[in-house]
Amino acid sequence: MSPPKPERVLVVGAGPFQVDLIARARGLGAEVVAVDRLPDAPGMALADHAFPINIVDVAAVVALAERLQVDAALTAASDAAVPAVSAVIEARGLCGIPPAVVAVCRDKLRTFEAVHAAGLPVPQTRRVDDSDGLDAAVEAVGGFPLVVKPASAAGGRGVAVVSGRAGLDAAIERARQYAGSGVLVQTFVEGRSVGVEAFLWRGQVVAAFVLDDQYQPLFVSPVGHSLPCTLDAATEAAVVRDVAAFAAAVGITDGPLNFDLRRVGDQTVLIEINPRLGGSSITELVRTCYGVDLSEAAVLCALGRDPTPALARRHVQPVASRLLIARGRGRVDMVGDPGLGWRQHDAVRALRLSVPEGQPSPLAVDEWSLLGSCLVVAPTTGEAEALAARLAADVVSAITVEP
C-alpha cells in the first residue's frame, strides 16, 4: 500500500513574517506551497513548491490553488494576503474566513457598522472622501481629538491622532496615499490599549491571549507587546468574552484573529479586527510565554482540524517584544554593532537589526523607519517591558536615519 498523500498547505506571502508558518506547516508533515511576488523571498526556499505570484493577484492565486488542489490556505501578519487567502478558502470549500466576512474586517467603516448594529462599543466612524460633509463628519465623531485613518489597514500607515482643525487636511491627505478604499475619521478612544490573539473553532473562542501594549511618543501604533497581561483576572475574562461578541457580530466562526482594543471603564472598545494571525512577534511572544505554537494551531485550523489541544498552555514566562524604530526614512548609519553588548545579556532572547548600514531604510511607517526588534524575558511582565524599552532606546541611540 502506498503511504497516504501529504496534505497541501498554501501559504500566501513568503516574507520574513510567513517563514515561521511555512516551517511549522512542514514540521506537521504537510507539503507547503508558497507564493510571493519576490522569487527570493526568504520563505520561498523553505517551501516544497514556490511560485513567484503577486499575492494581490487574487485570481492567479486561486487558479494555482485549484490546479494544485490545496487542502488549506493561510497567511500571517500580512493584510495584503488576506483577500487571496479568503478567495481560496471559498473556491475550495476550506476552513477559514470567507471573502464576505473578510470584506467587513478590511473596511473599517463596515466593521464599525456591523459592530455598532450589534450594540457593542466601537468608536463613531465616518467616511471623508471629499471636503463636502467634512464638518458634519467631524461633528458626528464628537469633534477633536479624532483619529484619521485609511478605511483599509495598511500596517499602521496613514493613521493619525489629530487634535484640531489645523492638522486635519494634512492628515487626510496623508491617509489618502494608503487608501484604495477611502479615508475615515473616528472618535479618539482614550483608555488602556490591549491586544488579543484569539482562536475560534466552530463559533467558539477556544483560546485567547490578552497582551499589554506599549507605546512610544508620536508613533501611533503599539511598539511593544507583553505577556502575561497585567489586567486582573476578572477584567481579562471580560475582554475575552467581549472579543467573542465582536467576532460573532462580524460573522467569524473559525480561525486565528488579532484584535486591537481599548479598555474604557468596564467596557472593551473595538478598534480593529485583523482576520489572520497577528505579527510574528506575537507568535514568538506566545511561544516564549506559554509554550504554545500559534503557527502550528493556525495550520491545523486551516486544515479543518480542531486546534484546541495545540493551544493548551504549558508554562508561564513573562516576556516583552519591542520594535526598534527611529524617525527618518533615509540612509541608515550606525556605529559598529549597536546591539553587541545586549546580545550577551541572559534575558535577551532575540535582537534583530534589519537595516544594512549605509543603505536607505527598507521598511518605513509614515516618517519612521523600522530598524529591527527584540524579545526579552524577566521575572515579571513589568520588568520585561522596562528592559525591552531600555534596550530599544540604547540600540536606537547608536543609529542615525536621514530624514
Q: Which parts of this chain interact with ligand ADP (CB under 6 A)?
A: 123, 147, 149, 153-156, 159, 186-189, 193, 220-222, 260, 271-272
> What is the signed CA dihedral for 268, 269, 273, 277, rounded to 10 degrees?
-40
Question: Residue 18: which of Mg ion, ligand ADP, none does it interact with, CB under 5 to 8 A by kind?
Answer: none
- Residue (of 90, 59, 60, 56) closest to 73 by Cα position: 90
Question: Residue 288: which of Mg ion, ligand ADP, none does it interact with, CB under 5 to 8 A by kind?
Answer: none
State phi, psi for 219 to the nearest 5 degrees: -95, 125
> Cα(81)–Cα(11) distance, rounded to whole angstroms?
9
**In the complex, least distance from residue 366 CB atom to Mg ion, rounded to whole angstroms:** 14
Number of residues binding to Mg ion, judged by CB under 5 A: 2
**In the complex, least distance from residue 58 CB atom to ligand ADP, rounded to whole angstroms:** 20
State phi, psi for 394 to the nearest 5 degrees: -65, -50
Measured from the CB atom, the residue of 159 and 205 that comes closer to ligand ADP is: 159
Measured from the CB atom, the residue of 158 and 307 that comes closer to ligand ADP is: 158
Backbone torsion region of residue 379, taken as left when φ is above 0, otherwise alpha when ψ lies between -120 and 50, otherwise beta: alpha
Backbone torsion region of residue 133, taken as left when φ is above 0, otherwise alpha when ψ lies between -120 and 50, otherwise beta: left
- Residue (of 309, 296, 307) closest to 24 by Cα position: 296
Q: In this structure, which amino acid lies at residue 208? A: A
**In the complex, least distance from residue 222 CB atom to ligand ADP, rounded to whole angstroms:** 6
Contact between 260 and Mg ion (CB under 5 A)?
yes
Measured from the CB atom, the residue of 60 and 161 that comes closer to ligand ADP is: 161
**In the complex, least distance from residue 296 CB atom to ligand ADP, rounded to whole angstroms:** 25
Measured from the CB atom, the residue of 43 and 222 that comes closer to Mg ion is: 222
Question: Residue 123: which of ligand ADP, Mg ion, none does it interact with, CB under 5 to 8 A by kind?
Answer: ligand ADP
Question: Residue 106: which of ligand ADP, Mg ion, none does it interact with, CB under 5 to 8 A by kind?
Answer: none
**What contacts 250, CB < 8 A, 6 or more positions away?**
101, 104, 105, 111, 114, 115, 273
Measured from the CB atom, the residue of 32 and 227 that comes closer to ligand ADP is: 227
**Among 272, 337, 383, 394, contact with Mg ion (rule: CB under 5 A):** 272
**In the complex, least distance from residue 368 CB atom to ligand ADP, rounded to whole angstroms:** 13
> Cα(398)–Cα(378) distance, rounded to whole angstroms?
24
Question: Residue 205: which of Mg ion, ligand ADP, none does it interact with, CB under 5 to 8 A by kind?
Answer: none
Measured from the CB atom, the residue of 6 and 156 that comes closer to ligand ADP is: 156
**In the complex, least distance from residue 6 CB atom to ligand ADP, rounded to whole angstroms:** 35
Residue with cell 461578541: 245
**In the complex, least distance from residue 31 CB atom to ligand ADP, rounded to whole angstroms:** 33
DSSP assignment string, 213-267: EEEETTEEEEEEEEES--S-HHHHHHHHHHHHHHHHHHT--SEEEEEEEEEETTE
> Interacting stretch for Mg ion, rule CB under 5 A, among 24-32, 266-274, 295-303, 327-335?
266-274
Q: Which residues bind Mg ion (CB under 5 A)?
A: 260, 272
